[in-house]
Chains A and B, each alone.
Chain A
Amino acid sequence: MRSRITRHLWPILGAPIPVRREPDGAPAAEQIVPETPPLELSGRDYAISLLRLAAEIEHGLMVQYLFAAYSLDPPGAPAAQRPMVRRWQEAILGIAKEEMAHLVTVQNLLTALGGPLQFNREDFPHDTVLYPSGFRLRPLSLPSLATYVVAESPEVWEGEQADRIKQQAAAEVGGTVNRVGRLYEELIDVIGDPALVPDSTFDAASMPFQASWDEWGRGYRRGERGRQAASDPDAPAVPELIIDTVDSRTTAIAALEQVGEQGEGFGMPRDEDESHFERFLKVHQEFENLSEDERRALVRDIATNPTTDLSGPDVGADPADTETTSPIANPTARLWAHLFNVRYRKLLVSLSHAFELAENRTGSGSPGPRGSLIHRAFAEMYNLRSIAGLLVSLPLDHAEPDAARAGPPFQMPHTLMLPHDEDDRWRLHRDLLDAAATLVARIGAVDGAGTAHDYLTALAQADRIEREQVDALIAGTARAPVGAPTP
């Protein structure tokens, strides 16, 4: 599966490719030089394949960062260190949110180039030539932090600290951790070249279908949202959420540069915002200064790669990877994990569905269901956080109640392709609500007290309200959306 993509990615590495496998590591007798675009692909098609890979990577990073953030600040963490660990947590959550914005911006680029959207990613992909490292859901640790720092690092990052962190990262993944920035550099080269991607490729008419910052950034410009860490009055302002729309080569390059800059900083930040690299590096420094025991006290004991699949490692897991997956044996936690997966799918379906509906840009017209889908996507983000919060407190295995906790599995659905017919798309939403209702009832029967009960009761009602609205949309009896009165 991965080879479908990787076989086109050699140009980025720039190194000659041996035409045959030589025995015992002998030097290649014969090599070819990768071409751009790769044979079989046009320039536009190559750009689209790179963008789709970028989307996968942003998506994967976002999920891994969320998992890492949720692993912090266990009950009983030392009070003196709680402000610091909450600051880390919010810094990482902030980065994850920005990765989400990058993911959306990449979809805009795909839309402008006329490529298929990419909300998919593999659960446990091999280490491709461009993936920063193997995809792993793991609680925060010094080595995992090192991989994040390196993945977000700029092209030139040298010195004792750089060497040390790169070594930590390499030891963690068993090889080199790739920089995300390299992919964006290649994208800028390809999309910036009119010979590869002609001007006519950029479809300005696709703008109403793209995600706008007004909608997805909720209109908060740099620093306007508030502080980076709600828990810390002295924290810096929240950085810019980059959600760029694209209607030309110029706007496409600007979007790619901004996304790249927010990741690694490119060494020369154009503004005061810290890059992901800098923010991760700061967390790493503070984490590294603690003793092993102190670190352990700040991180929950959560299973690595928790999964509802009891049959073992997912297809695609590296056989050499001893971590593989952690099946959730605890039936209550497993039900919550299934519910988590349904909400995750619902988020992704809402996102991709929103891209199918044009934004009404007249300003005073009636808003359509696109706005509802965007709100629903945010609501599902809240749900994912809520269920993750419950999962990190439930034992992975009920037979070992004092051992590791479960965690959010973030398992991908069997498909993210949307039906062609609009009514069928709403039927998919209804299917997901029905699946959620079944799980809510099942969980309620076994975990029906306290916070879990309060949450499930409210969630069930919210879902009933949504289902009625979805039913009305399918039946064509939905109330006309209300907007400003027509003058």
Chain B
Amino acid sequence: MIHELRILPSLAIARFGSAPTPMDNYDAVVDAAEPLGYRTLRPAETLEIDVDSGEIVRALVPDALSFTENGAVRPVAPFLEVWALIGDEGLTGGGRLEPLTTALLEEEGTSAGDLRWQVQLANLKVMRRTGNAADAVRADSGEFSDHVRRALDGTCDNFVRGRTIGFGHVQYIRPTASHPQIRLRFTPAAGRIYGPTRSPFPNAPVPDPNVSEAVYDAQRGGWDGYRDVGGPQDTAPGGIYAGRRVGNNQVSSGYLDDGCDGVVRVSLELGGRTLRALGRVGAGPPAYAPDALPIRTVADELEQALFGPTVDPAEATFERVEEIVRRAFETVRLLNTGFHNEDWGWAGGAPFMASSLVDPIAVENLHQSLLVALRSGTAPWFGDVLRDHDAAGDRTFRGRRRMPAMMRGADGQLLTLTRRQVALIRALAQGPLFESEEPES
């Protein structure tokens, strides 16, 4: 019997795009023969949806990948699948997770039409700053069980009456004989900028070329012209919104975007019980360097949250440390290290590395040489130059030289690896200097 429901993945991140066809599926893989090169983007099985019927019309592996369609970026539109925990007990009691299908539903005497979905999205970025609940932008699909593609238009008390910000669409995919699984697709918005009304006449042309539509009623809300006041409610760092400098203040231009995050709920009445599951979605900008990964990602944060900041020495493998090093030079590849050595803008001060050492290609090559050495089974020797998590604010020359150098975290401080990543490298460093690979005698 079905014990519980799950939505998997429990967190899906969509990427903006204005093209009508979502991006094809792909894997970013390391080429075994070119371990220092760019990751190869290998097309993977992609589900093609007929928007009108809500059905999967075919599953294919594309011959080639294209990130744009007629000049428009193709959005990344994730699927959220419903899985069933089968058995009388939970996972620890011997239960197993398997995809929820029409057949499984039939076994339980129910059907796909009995599942109820609800998606609630919001963009609370303005409210977060102004503290005014009337600045929250929210969209709610309401409960639905059909397969109609639904627009999720965000409304806000301080918008011009009748205007909204589109957060994208959701669609409950209609199960078929060939694709009987239960899933929902979230297609994000285009990635547009919205702005405030600049005149008492809401229909007046918007002079700002960044703004696709004036939705925010500047007469009613205070976002246009807002400035951080330096209080504890400010973000760290403060003033990180589009605007103009007036004295020491960053004055908001009243911009909003169609980025959002929210929850996807699914429920099913079964034998007098209501089974519920919850997943989360978010939408952000496209990946413009999809063949590289940042040195610290949300996945690293989640892993640390799930498994803690320390590692069992057995987890510290060369492959995992190699992946961190690979991401280091993939990130360096995108940096103008010469520029950042001068620390213009955000850290202030003189160069902190010898200027002869900061040529970007030379720095990339040096990081690549770390990966080469790791592949020989040599224990990492660079664990002690890593920046510790509690040293993110150390902007002395010494502090800025620690690795990863020349990068900042979301808090505006020097970037650190997660404590778990650091622990992983240091745990491997505590192993033998040379990995034992004695040939058979």
Q: List the interface of chain A (C-beta within 8 A of B).
A: 69-70, 72-73, 75, 82, 86, 89, 212, 214-215, 218-221, 224-227, 230-232, 238, 359-368, 370-372, 374-376, 378-379, 382-383, 385-390, 392-395, 401-402, 450-451, 454-455, 457-459, 461-462, 465-466, 469, 479, 481-485
Cβ-neighbour of A372 out of B34, B359, B377, B398 (below 8 A): B359
Nearest to B344 among chain A residues (CB) is A484
Measured between beta carbons, the chain B residues less than 8 angstroms from A402 are 441
Say yes or no: B398 contacts A226, CB within 8 Å.
no
Given contacts A371-B359, A375-B369, 17 further A-B contacts (CB under 8 A): A86-B433, A363-B350, A366-B338, A368-B356, A371-B356, A374-B356, A383-B369, A383-B372, A386-B377, A389-B377, A390-B377, A394-B439, A451-B375, A454-B35, A455-B375, A458-B372, A482-B336
Whether B33 is near chain A, meaning CB under 8 Å from some CB there, is yes
Measured between beta carbons, the chain B residues less than 8 angstroms from A388 are 434
Q: How far is it, in angstroms, between the C-alpha of A72 and the C-alpha of B338 when the chains are bound?
A: 40
**Segment touching A, from B52-60, B239-247, B379-387:** B379-387
Cβ-neighbour of A365 out of B355, B363, B375 (below 8 A): B355
Whether B334 is near chain A, meaning CB under 8 Å from some CB there, is no
Whether B370 is near chain A, meaning CB under 8 Å from some CB there, is yes
Within 8 A of A (CB), among B358-397: 358-363, 365-366, 368-373, 375-381, 383-385, 397
Cβ-neighbour of A466 out of B359, B365, B384, B397 (below 8 A): B365
Say yes or no: B357 contacts A367, CB within 8 Å.
yes
Whether B131 is near chain A, meaning CB under 8 Å from some CB there, is no
How many inter-chain residue pairs (CB < 8 Å) link A and B?
Answer: 205
> Could you tell me the distance in whole angstroms from the C-beta of A356 to the nearest C-beta in chain B?
13
**Contact sample, A vs B, 16 pairs, CB 8 Å cutoff:** A70-B433, A75-B436, A218-B401, A227-B384, A371-B356, A378-B369, A387-B376, A401-B439, A455-B372, A455-B375, A459-B375, A469-B361, A482-B336, A482-B360, A483-B359, A484-B339
Q: How far is it, in angstroms, between the C-alpha of A392 and the C-alpha of B336 when the chains are bound?
A: 40
Measured between beta carbons, the chain B residues less than 8 angstroms from A485 are 339
Cβ-neighbour of A374 out of B344, B351, B357, B379 (below 8 A): B357
Say yes or no: B36 contacts A461, CB within 8 Å.
yes
Cβ-neighbour of B32 out of A361, A457, A459 (below 8 A): A457
Mark each residue of chain B from 317 to 350: 1 if its CB lies under 8 Å from any CB of chain A, else 0.
0000000000000000000111101101000001
Whether B429 is near chain A, meaning CB under 8 Å from some CB there, is yes
Interface residue count on the B side (C-beta < 8 Å): 61
Q: How far is it, in angstroms, between the C-alpha of A220 and the C-alpha of B366 when the chains are bound?
A: 17
Q: How far is it, in angstroms, between the C-alpha of A8 and the C-alpha of B86 when the chains are bound?
A: 89
Whether B352 is near chain A, meaning CB under 8 Å from some CB there, is yes
Say yes or no: A375 contacts B357, CB within 8 Å.
yes
Measured between beta carbons, the chain B residues less than 8 angstroms from A230 are 379-381, 383-384, 426, 429-430
Cβ-neighbour of B373 out of A219, A371, A386 (below 8 A): A386
Which 3 pairs from chain A and chain B are nearest by CB?
A226-B384, A386-B376, A379-B369
Known: A214-B354, A393-B439. A461 touches B37 (CB 8 A): yes
Q: How far is it, in angstroms, between the C-alpha of A362 and the C-alpha of B361 when the chains are bound?
A: 20
Say yes or no: B384 contacts A462, CB within 8 Å.
no
Q: How far is it, in angstroms, between the C-alpha of A458 and the C-alpha of B432 when the chains are bound?
A: 22
> Could you tell me the distance in whole angstroms from the C-beta of A255 to the nearest C-beta in chain B?
19
Name the residue among B352, B359, B378, B438 with the largest chain A CB count within 10 angstroms.
B359
Say yes or no: B35 contacts A393, CB within 8 Å.
no
Measured between beta carbons, the chain B residues less than 8 angstroms from A394 are 439
Whether B435 is near chain A, meaning CB under 8 Å from some CB there, is yes
Name the residue among A82, A214, A366 with the largest chain B CB count within 10 angstroms.
A214
Measured between beta carbons, the chain A residues less than 8 angstroms from B336 are 482
Whether B437 is near chain A, meaning CB under 8 Å from some CB there, is yes
Whether B353 is near chain A, meaning CB under 8 Å from some CB there, is yes
Say yes or no: A364 contacts B355, CB within 8 Å.
yes
Say yes or no: A89 contacts B433, CB within 8 Å.
yes
